[in-house]
Structure 1
Amino acid sequence: MLSTSKRPLVLAILLGLSGIPLAAQAETLFNFVRPLDAVQVTTQDAVLPSVTAESTPEGEILRRLTFNVADKPSLRLTPQSGSWDWSAAEAMSLRIQSAQDWAITVEVAIESADGKVLTSQVALPAGPAQTLLVPLAATSPNAHGMRAAPPVPLTRDGKRWLPAIQVSGELDRSRVTSVTLSLNKPAAAQNILLGRFGTSPDDQQDALYEGLMDAYGQYARGDWPGKVKSDEQLKKGAADEARLLADWTAKLPKQDAYGGWIGGGTFEATGFFRTEKRGERWYLVTPEGHPFFSLGVNAVTPGLSQTYVEGRESMFKALPEDNAPLARHFGQGDDRADTDANQGRAFNQGRWYDFYGANLERTYGGNDPQRWLGHAVERLRAWGFNTVGNWSDGGFSGQRMPYTLPLSIRGDFATIRTGFDWWGGMPDPFDPRFAMAAERAIAIAARDHRDDPWLIGYFADNELAWGGHGDDPKARYALAYGTLRLTTDVPAKRAFLKQLRDKYRNQEGLSKAWGIELKAWELMEDPGFEPPLPNPEHPAIEEDFKRFQVFFAETYFKTIADSLKWHAPNHLLLGGRFAATVPEAVEACARYCDVISFNRYTPEPQQGLDMDLLRRLDKPLMLTEFHFGSQDRGPFWGGVMEVQREEDRGPAYARFLQKAAEEPLIVGAHWFQYLDQPATGRLLDGENGHLGLVAITDRPWQGFVESVRKANLALAKVIDAPQAGEPAPKAVESPPPAASGKEEGGKP
């Protein structure tokens, strides 16, 4: 029986009983090949032949389901009557296989009689059949302390299991009424093969996360080129690398002491880094007066590689005994924080282990900080980099390599939630405590660096929650909207209300302009006041929101700029490392900062930026975070900007850098980050990405590093400053990489 219309098809199989509680063992409710129990099968924009089954290449008999092209083609399974009692079960189970040569994302929804729903998206891979297991309670990699889960399917006891790794919602297990499989807007018909449907007493979550890491902190179940198998391999790799670094360093082009290019145009030497525009292009200029494009790397430090082990020791196959020499790399921490970055994360405190530190000791016989710093500088220079970026070890200030520093302003000042609060709410610049905290942070940061010519400059905090630049007015004006919802003990709200009072005088004027009925001005002072969203009928709302956001952003950046001019007059203010932002913040940054900085996770740096606005502002730009990661070298997350394979990272890097060179405003690009993150999640927020130039074993990813070096050294031909009056050189096109972007994220 076929169904090609949107009318439901019902197959009632009337053998067996429903509504009987299950014992604590796997139980089949329905078999698509040999139906034995009472289940209704309903299709919507999908085709399920009534009796046809087929043999897979592995000899298994399964039944084909075709999802047609539609918004939401689906298959729904329900009891013949009543509901299922799955109280004794831990997972829904379904034998399933993709009938395509590619993975298919299947959406699963399990509903109970009280309207509660569990939902999950499952990447059904190409290949042999496996048993899909959807836990009957919410779960996620965060519940296991990490951003991304280990690869699935999981092979255990000779069987292939596909445990769902992200399940959201709630369910009354005693009254389950339906299970629905669907696809979201398939562009072409998609086919899957189905077998037994039922429940399981084991959701395989423990098995999925058990025994993940080997003694070196590498993923134990996988293999790849360069995976470390012995201490001897580590030592030989270090010796081979030392010879290569010496050769590469000897072949570097001629540079001044600070990494500026020699042989082209020159500038006035002032003894400190500065910016200058020549022709149509902006330049960073070294203290010796040579053009400098800041090629940097973030998080060049051994201090971000620990991972929590307490409470999840079963993940690690070979942690050292407490009395063993490598036990010195255990420590204690507490990263509990009320931020979106930590929401729902477990295992964020207690005992941790530093696999990277242990691997350094295995390789070099100890952990000498000065040896490590010198080796990192040698690597960066040989690879064509010239800047130590944000979040790096403080010891680089004495290593004779240009570096940057963050101004991390912390205090008890008020904050405003905007909905973009990955690292917390926006600091309230109208709060006197913010000005004091900024003064304190800047004084401390500048104390030992005031006259250091190797310091390029300071960043004004990181990825603050300014809002979203787009068509959604609630995102675009999230800062103004969020401020009006607060109480009047928040200084920013008092500042906003004063602006409105000065303009409208009373509630009648405001009501008319905003199209609302405000009976008393004091009602705006109440917590939770719901301001209207900007709309075409009442343009004054948008004007007032925008005016406040300008006031807010200018107060913020002016506070920092004024303090920095006093404490560090010789160094640049490098902007706010924008992620989510609004034009008012960018414009204020341009007014008070020497450089505007953005963290960009896109195939090309210009994507997602308002380049028309930036060109009108005509200020130098720095791309202070970008990366391209993959999932085929151990860590489970491919980063914010993911490519398919390790081999694609190099071309993606070269393409990004080439596009940066084409833009006359851009004066630097900083890669995030030096090291891969721990596969079981870093301490801060559980991120566990393969993003690094270097593995957790301290072995560089050689193919990627070679591509990076080639791209870095080629940049001088594009960026080198012309003499006055000469046209600037043009960039050469390179082929685009195979990249697939992923939204969301955030860095320390």
Structure 2
Amino acid sequence: MCACLASSMDARGAGLKGNAAGLFHLEKNNGRDCLMDPAGKPFLSLGVNHVQNIFPHSFSGDREKECDAVFKNLTSWGFNTAGYGSPAPLTRMMPYLAPMYLTKNANYMPDSEFYYPDIFDPAVQEEIRNVIGYEVGKQLGNPNLIGYYWTDTPQWDLERARKKRGTDWVSTLREMPADAPGKMRYEQFLKEGGTLDEDFLRLIARELYKVLGEETRRRHPDALIFGERYLINDHPNCVVEEALPYIDVLSIQPGGAEFNGDFFDRLHARFKKPILLCDHQCSFPTPEYSKTMWQQMENEEAAGQAYARYLRDAFDKSYIIGYQRCQYIDRFAEHRDVLKQGMLREDGTPYMTLVRHISEANTEAINRFMKHLK
């Protein structure tokens, strides 16, 4: 096992010591953006999201035993991070990222649950602060915490939102009653000479990130903030620019089977932040399920090869600090009539061809990473 994996995985959360704050942090090494573990060792994050609901009928419901089995699988396959959506026992065994769900404007939400909050309303702001306090409180004292995420796939882009929802954040506040804080702020915006919806969207983002950023920092100073998990192409420049003062890393959920190097080069050149690929995969049809989430490849072999190419191309970029794969075990999403495919079938048996490619690709990624360091 290479040093950067062993430094955090073998410890299983016990007695890690590091910088003055004892936390994961960022440094530059030989021109590369690097996560550093609490012991001060470079750490290339390779993780898996959505480990919750692992084996509902296994281990007699013993979550510790379930998570121990997951830990052994992940580490044997070359993963060193539990992504977001991991049970608490697993976060005590290996490094992880902690999510917060602070607004109800995730791209995947049905219209019945989706809404844009009036972020200018002090009561809404206080509610968000309380959620942050609760979520941070659950993580304090765990040395395996890499950092915090905010809302998942928030729907920001005005045009995309209008096509999907028939409205957007600016329109929602504009159409509120006259005494609503958001409506009053919009009227003030007009009096100040504002005319463009994108300019008011910037003010919404500024207000939101001020609340999120200041409260997260207050509750857990020095912890890394990975910000919102933006869906690729749904993060207007004006929105990201307002997040920059408060985030340490830009988190992007890409699509497709090929790493779009030109796109990410432009993103990094503009925003100057390390980038985490926070949720991604390629899938393949099975005899039971012809429809699968993410870009579907021809078969299991093709999906495994695509994973290897994606990691190789992504980590050629000095600003990419990690990759999180979507899904540990197969789960059928009934509301979408599609399989959310993992590395294990629903019965807990692995897709051996896929797992072989993933294991080899993860090992290669770590080895290349270590060779680049001073």
**TM-score strictly above 0.5:** yes
- Return the offset for 1:466: 0.5
Matched-pair contact (CA < 8 Å) for 2:344–2:351: yes
The verdict on how the C-alpha distance between 1:654 and 1:665 changes in structure 2, with shifts beyond 3 A counting, is same
Amino acid at match of 1:288: A
1:279, 1:499 → 2: CA distance? 46
| Structure 1 position 713 matched with structure 2 position 363 | yes
1:253 partnered with 2:28: no
Counterpart position of 2:71: 377
Q: TM-score, normalised by structure 2?
A: 0.86
Tell me if 1:390 matches 2:141.
no
Residue 197 (structure 2) pairs with residue 545 (structure 1):
yes
> In the alignment, which residue of structure 1 is the partner of 2:210?
558
Deviation at residue 548 of structure 1 after TM alignment? 1.6
C-alpha distance 668-607 of structure 1, shift in aligned 2 (>3 A): same
Give the distance between the partners of 2:304 and 2:106, measured in 1 at CA. 38
Which of the numbers 345, 348, 352 marks the counterpart of 1:695? 345
Q: Does 1:627 align with 2:281?
A: yes
Residue 96 of structure 2 is matched in structure 1 by 403
SS in 2 for 1:443: helix
Structure 1 residue aligned with 2:240: 586
Cα deviation, residue 493, structure 1: 2.8
How many Å apart are 1:473 and its aligned residue?
A: 11
Q: Which has the bigger relative contact order, CA under 8 A and spacing at least 6?
A: 2
The CA distance in 2 between the partners of 1:647 and 1:473, in whole Å, is 36
Structure 2: any 5+ residue segments left out of the alignment? 11-17
Q: Is 2:219 aligned against 1:567?
A: yes
Query: What is the number of residues matched between the two proteins?
Result: 360
Q: Once the two structures are superposed, what CA deviation does each residue of 1:598-653 show, in whole Å capped at 9, x if it has no partner?
A: 11122234379464243222101111110111122423422121111122110111
Letter aligned with residue 560 of structure 1:
L
Q: Which amino acid aligns with 2:283?
A: G
- Quote the Cα distance in structure 2 between the aligned partners of 1:577 and 1:479: 18
CA RMSD between the two structures: 3.0
Are the counterparts in 2 of residues 474 and 481 from structure 1 also a CA contact under 8 Å?
no
CA gap 1:385/1:610 in 2 versus in 1, 3 angstroms: closer
**In the TM superposition, what whole-angstrom CA distance separates every residue of 1:39-94 from its partner, at most 9, and x where no partner exists?**
xxxxxxxxxxxxxxxxxxxxxxxxxxxxxxxxxxxxxxxxxxxxxxxxxxxxxxxx
Q: Conserved in 1, the CA contact under 8 Å of 2:275 and 2:321? A: yes
3-state SS of paired residue (2:46): strand
Report the TM-score, using the length of structure 1 for normalisation. 0.45
Which structure: larger Rg?
1
User: Could you give the per-residue CA deviations for residues 640-692 of structure 1, whole angstroms, max 9, x where no partner exists?
Assistant: 211111221101111111121022221111111001113xx35xx44531520
Compared CA separation, residues 589 and 495, structure 1 to 2 (3 A): same
Identity over the aligned pairs, expressed in percent? 23
Instruction: After TM superposition, give the deviation of residue 419 of structure 1 in Å.
Output: 12
Q: Is the 8 A contact 1:417 1:482 kept in 2?
A: no
Q: Which stretches in structure 1 are left out of the alignment for 5+ residues?
A: 1-251, 261-267, 304-355, 505-540, 725-748
Q: Return the alpha-carbon distance in structure 2 between the equivalents of residues 552 and 581 of structure 1.
A: 13
CA 1:587–1:718: 2 relative to 1, 3 Å: farther
Instruction: Tell me the equivalent position of 2:45.
Output: 294
Question: Compared with structure 1, are the counterparts of its residues 378 and 474 closer, same or farther at alpha carbon in structure 2 (3 Å cutoff)?
Answer: closer
Equivalent in 261, 276, 286 of residue 27 of structure 2:
276
Could you tell me how far 1:478 is from its partner in structure 2? 4.5
Give secondary structure in 2 for the equivalent of 1:257: helix
Structure with the higher helix share, 1 or 2:
2
> One-letter code of the match for 2:102?
I
Match of 1:501 in 2: 191
1:536-685 aligned within 5 A? 541=195, 544-579=196-231, 580-606=234-260, 609=263, 611-678=265-332, 681-682=333-334, 685=335
Contact 1:404 1:457 in 2 (8 A): yes
Retained in 1: the 8 A contact 2:156–2:169? yes
Alpha-carbon distance, 1:435 to partner: 1.5
Q: After superposition, what is the alpha-carbon deviation per residue over 1:8-31, rounded to whole angstroms, capped at 9, x for unaligned?
A: xxxxxxxxxxxxxxxxxxxxxxxx
Distance 1:487 1:420, change over 3 A: farther
Mapping of 1:77-226 within 5 angstroms?
A: none
Retained in 1: the 8 A contact 2:118–2:181?
yes
Q: Structure 2 matches for 1:312-323, cutoff 5 A?
A: none
Report the counterpart of residue 15 of structure 2 in structure 1. Answer: none
Q: Could you tell me which amino acid in structure 2 is paired with residue 258 of structure 1? A: S
- Cα 1:720–1:552 change in 2 (3 A) is farther
